[in-house]
Structure 1
Amino acid sequence: MSLQWTIIATFLYAEIAFVLLLTLPIASPARWNKFFKSKFLAYISGQASIYFVVLIGVLILCLLDAIREMQKYSNIESTDHQHLDAEMQGNMRLFRAQRNFYISGIALFLLVVIRRLIQMICELAGLYAQSEANFRQAQSATVAAKTLLEKQGAGDEVAKKDIEDLRGQILLLEKELAKEKKDKEAVKSQAESLNREYDRLTEEHSKLQKKITIAGGDKKDN
């Protein structure tokens, strides 16, 4: 294998290993996103589109060269049988062309797959972060609602307590008012009895005075 195809094959093996790392549950999307946004990769990502286009171009050129070699040695194989050594060399070169075709084709395909996987992992990490933020916001809203309901319940309890106190004060005032009414009625009845007693005494006094007057007149006549 020439140096060119050795480099492409090594690149293919690295792509396969990297795809396995991305697909296996080794790290969460948040960690991969943190790794992709590290300082080193952030420095490289500024020119990542250029590197990607260059790699795509190189792999496409290698793929076209492999296709050309396949067509070339396939045409040689389809001609009349030549010398055995020449035929074996032609088959070996055709096999190498086919091998190079698969290497470059799979490397090109995996390069596109890796780029798409990285984009999807970053988007998934963003969705996870957004869902976590929404979950925390929902939790804080739930806590705030519970606190508001507890405060409202406490306010209702305070209002109920105030109402009970007012009812107790009203009952106490009603009792005092009834007591005052009874005392007033007792005083009134006592005053009426005193008036009656006064009238009786006044009447008896007038009777006694009349008797004394009559008794005095009788003595003068004698």
Structure 2
Amino acid sequence: MSIQWTFIAGYLYFEIAVVILMILPIFSPRRWHQFFKSRLFYMFRNNAAVYFYVLLGILGVFLMDSVREMKKYAHSSEGHVHLSSEMKGNVKLFRAQRNFYITGFSIFLAFVIRRLVNMLIIQDELSLKAEKIIKQAEDTVKSAKSMVLSNTMQASEAKKCEELSQELEEVKSERDEQRARIKELEEEATKWRLKYEEVCGAGDRAEE
């Protein structure tokens, strides 16, 4: 295997390892998101799109080269040639097919990794939003409970005030009744005093 195909095969193995690492539940989406925002990933993140399309261009060139080699040695193996030449052609055709599969899977896994990165970032953002919504809901429930409690206390206080006002009205009515009773007693005492004075005056006149 030549140097360029060895490099592409190594890149394919690297992609397989990265995909397995992302799929396995070793690191949470938040850890991946923090890694994608880290300083180590900062330089690559700024030019990620450029690197991605350049890599796809290089892999596309090698893919077209492997397709050309496949067509070339597929046509050469169709005719009746010497056995050794046919074996060499078959070996070269096998290598061309191998290179085609390696390059094709490398391109496919590049899109898979890009999609996984976006999904991990979106999943972390959604989890953060969900936590924020849950926290807001809990705060709303707490505020609603405090409002209900305050309204209950206000209602109880209002009820107490109403009871006190009723008691005060009863006391006032009793006071008015007592005042009326006292006034009646005073009037009756005045009558008896006047009668007593009349009786005393009539007795004094009889003695004279």
Structure-2-length-normalised TM-score: 0.94
Q: 2 CA distance for matches of 1:200 and 1:123? A: 113
Q: CA deviation at 1:63?
A: 0.5
Distance across 2 between alignment mates of 1:155 and 1:43: 61
SS in 1 for 2:25: coil
Query: In the aligned structure 1, how far is the partner of 2:39 from the partner of 2:141?
Result: 38
Q: Name the CA distance, whole Å, in 1 between partners of 2:191 and 2:43.
A: 113
Amino acid at match of 2:129: Q
Distance between the aligned counterparts of 1:10 and 1:203, measured in 2? 146
Q: Give 2:202's aligned residue.
A: 203
Shift of 1:26: 1.8
Aligned: 1:50 with 2:50? yes
Q: Which amino acid aligns with 1:39?
A: R
Aligned AA for 1:90? Answer: G
- Structure 1 residue aligned with 2:22: 22
Provide the C-alpha distance between the structure 1 equivalents of 2:100 and 2:3, rounded to a whole number of angstroms: 16
Query: What is the SS of the residue equivalent to 2:77?
Result: helix
Partner of 1:35: 35
Counterpart Cα distance in 2 of 1:85 and 1:43? 52
Query: Residue 64 in 1 paired to residue 64 in 2?
Result: yes
Q: Which residue of 2 aligns with 1:97?
A: 96
Structure 2, unmatched stretches of 5+, are none
**4+ long deviations beyond 4 Å:** none
Higher alpha-carbon Rg: 1
RMSD: 1.4
- C-alpha displacement at 1:182, in angstroms? 1.8
Letter aligned with residue 60 of structure 2: I
For structure 1, list consecutive stretches of 5 or more residues without a partner in the other structure: 210-222
How does 1:129-144 map onto structure 2 within 5 Å?
129-144=128-143
**Matched residue type, 2:93:** L
Per-residue deviation at 1:43? 2.0
Structure 1 letter corresponding to 2:52: F
Which amino acid in 1 is paired with 2:113?
Answer: I
